[in-house]
Amino acid sequence: MPARLPILPGAPLGILGGGQLGRMFTIAARTMGYRVMVLDPDPQSPAGQMADIHLQADYTDHGALKKMAEACAAVTTEFENVPAASLVELSRYTRVAPNAEAVAIVQDRSREKTWLRENGFATAPFALVSHEIELEAGATAAGFPAILKVSRFGYDGKGQIRVNSRQELASAFTELKGVPCVLEGFVQLASEVSVVLARTDSGECSSWPVGENHHINGILDTTRVPASVNQSIQERAQETAMQIAGRLGYVGVMAVEFFVDQGGNLLVNEIAPRPHNSGHYTLDACVTDQFEQQVRALCGLPLGDTRLLSPVVMVNLLGDVWRHGPDWMALLQYPGIKLHLYGKAEARPGRKMGHYNCLAENIDTAAALAEQTRKALGIIPL
């Protein structure tokens, strides 16, 4: 993407997707003086609540896309499943970042895994499975135990099934309706980490400190920064993530999730072409958060400082906490807690309703505060 004149505050920006990531982008953009148009079919979308204009339409609605293209100086996305064709259509008339080609690769697990392998990035063993006749070869390539994941539209543990045998694999493929899948072999995990970074048109790239992640039932539960993994692994993770962004020609904020195995090997798990749940700690613990950085990259501005100002543990708030009504005083009595709620109308089990950051003078104190408050809110103990 060629260098362009920067888009300055006062200009209108567009975002496809009205969830919590779009909401936080909208808040950041409006704080910086931009106007924001959100395209999302949900009349109660969290981002739509904060935007200057909410276009309530499907992402393939040509009239809505035309209106956004004509009104906005630049357009971005808040989730990877926006149709790539819509990004192509928008890019004919206005600046779009990230580009459709990069999004098309990472929104499909089969394409993403193949692209990573072809570009020399290490992953867990995997096989592509799109038909029953490929199950046997897939089992041989990936081994057992393994996880069968749908290639498209799976997230937060949805659309994936753990399998321990060829019989279970066949049953799982049937349960997933025989759609194209990726069969991923297990690795002996030591930890899971992620790198959130931003990249500009000119190739300037800046990452935040590595986050150490803990998941429950496939959904991110906590992110700890600084991570406890050794400095060499952290540096390799940041360098690998920047290489991936460069080869994709990526512009904007993106995240790369990694497995660290028992031998200290770094394996790419997934790429997210957007701000990431594991980067929410940046909202309170860094000089520049990931959403301000998304605005900067989209608008062709210099990237902000990503320094960590405080040790932090981010804790996700799922709809399960709403079963008996959250006890907010159990949380907000601590001055080091920073609460972020997403404005979603309905709390459902497993649905991300918000998060909070625990800030303290050292990471052990932040971790202890996170554990104490998680228990007080009834979140499953670590």
Per-residue pLDDT reduced to its tens digit, 111-158: 999 999 999 999 999 999 999 999 999 999 999 999 999 988 766 557
Q: Which pLDDT score is estimated for 339?
A: 98
Contact predicate 68/14, CB 8 Å: yes
Superfamily of chain region 189-376 = ATP-grasp fold, B domain (3.30.470.20)
Backbone angles phi, psi at 90, to 5 degrees: -65, -40
Rounded Cα–Cα distance for residues 86 and 104 (Å): 11
Alpha carbon 190 to chain centroid, angstroms: 22
Which residues are within 8 A (CB) of 184 and not within 5 positions of it... i.e. 6 or more apart? 124, 125, 126, 142, 146, 147, 149
CA pair distance 248, 225, nearest whole angstrom: 27
Q: What is the predicted pLDDT for the residue at 157?
A: 59
Q: Alpha carbon of 221 to those of 127, 149, 314, 316, 366: distances in Å? A: 28, 20, 8, 5, 15
C-alpha dihedral, 201 to 204 to 208 to 211, nearest 10°: 70
Per-residue pLDDT reduced to its tens digit, 274-296? 999 999 999 999 999 999 999 99
Residue 160's pLDDT is: 87
Note whether 314 and 278 are within 8 A (CB).
yes
182 Cβ contact list (under 8 Å, min separation 6): 109, 110, 113, 126, 127, 128, 129, 148, 149, 151
> Which residues have C-beta within 8 Å of that of residue 107, sequence separation ≥ 6?
80, 81, 82, 84, 152, 273
> Which residue ranges in the chain fall short of pLDDT 50?
1-2, 382
CB neighbourhood size of 304 (10 A): 18
Question: Which ranges in the chain belong to alpha helices (H)?
Answer: 20-31, 62-71, 84-91, 100-106, 109-118, 135-142, 166-175, 231-248, 282-285, 290-299, 328-332, 363-376
d(CA 78, CA 221): 20
CA 5, chain centre distance (Å): 28
pTM higher than 0.85:
yes
SS3 call for 34: coil
pLDDT, residue 1, reads 41
The single-letter DSSP state of residue 109 is H
The correct answer on CATH 3.30.70.1140 for the domain covering 12-96 is no
Are 360 and 377 in contact, with CB atoms under 8 Å apart?
no
Query: What are the structural domain ranges in the chain?
Result: 12-96, 125-185, 189-376
**Whether 286 contacts 309, CB under 8 Å:** yes
CB 15, CB 38: distance < 8 Å = yes
pLDDT value, residue 156? 57
What local confidence, expressed as pLDDT, does residue 152 receive?
Answer: 83
**Would you give the DSSP letter of residue 370?**
H
C-alpha–C-alpha distance, residues 88 and 84, integer Å: 6
Note the pLDDT of residue 181: 93
| Beta bridge pairs of residue 291 | none
Specify the pLDDT at position 368.
98
Q: Phi/psi at 18 (nearest 5 deg)?
A: -120, 25
pLDDT (0 to 100) of residue 352: 96
- Helix and strand numbers, DSSP H then E, in the chain: 12, 18
Question: Domain 125-185 adopts which CATH fold?
Answer: Dna Ligase; domain 1 (3.30.1490)
Is residue 319 a contact partner of residue 351, using CB atoms and an 8 Å limit?
Answer: yes
